[in-house]
Amino acid sequence: MSDMRTPYSRVHGLGSARSGSGHFILQRVTAVENVFLAIFLIASVVALTGSDYETVRAYLANPLVVILMLALIISGILHMRAGMQVIIEDYVTGESAKFLSLIGNTFFSFLVGLACVFAALKIGFGA
């Protein structure tokens, strides 16, 4: 028996995993965020070139700078995790290897993000 559904009705269910659209949107939104936040980071590094340690630390302790750095960290980690998830799902064969790789990706992303957030907050609060 042939499938009488239209092409739209076949794809309307968001794909086989039922979450493709959200993942696609997350990657695109974090990519756009990273462009603007990376420009801020590059501008900051260029502006601070040649400055002494105390000047750089005082700049990084500014609340607005800390917030933008935290936004860059969080957006970058989310983008990294989503991108690695796609690579793992596409290229890792075997269900157990894929499952373990996805868990490892999540834990690695969490630990890197936690370390970066800790460092930014420590600098921001002047510890």
Q: Which amino acid is present at 20?
A: G
Q: Which of 107, 102, 116 is nearest to 72 (CA)?
A: 116
The number of domains in the chain is 1
Distance CA 90, CA 101 (A): 12
pTM, whole model, 2 decimals?
0.81
Read off the pLDDT band of 103 (50, 70, 90): very high
Is residue 118 in some structural domain?
yes
Q: What is the domain-level CATH number for residue 69? A: 1.20.1300.10
For residue 88 the two structure tokens come to 């793992």
Q: Which of 117, 124, 126 is nearest to 72 (CA)?
A: 117
* Residue 64: domain span: 21-124
> Which residue in this structure is represented by tokens 């970066």?
116
> Which residue in this structure is represented by tokens 């995993």?
17
Is residue 73 in some structural domain?
yes
Contacts of 125 (CB under 8 A, 6+ apart): 61
Q: Which of 52, 35, 37, 51 is nearest to 120 (CA)?
A: 37
Tell me the per-residue pLDDT of 64-80, one tens digit each, with 9 for 90 and over.
999 999 999 999 999 99
Is residue 14 in some structural domain?
no
Q: So what's the pLDDT on residue 124?
A: 87
Long-range CB contacts (< 8 A, 24+ apart) of 44-51? none
**19 pLDDT higher than 80:** no
Is residue 81 in some structural domain?
yes
Tell me the per-residue pLDDT of 33-92, one tens digit each, with 9 for 90 and over.
999 999 999 999 999 999 999 999 999 999 999 999 999 999 999 999 999 999 999 999
Is residue 1 in some structural domain?
no
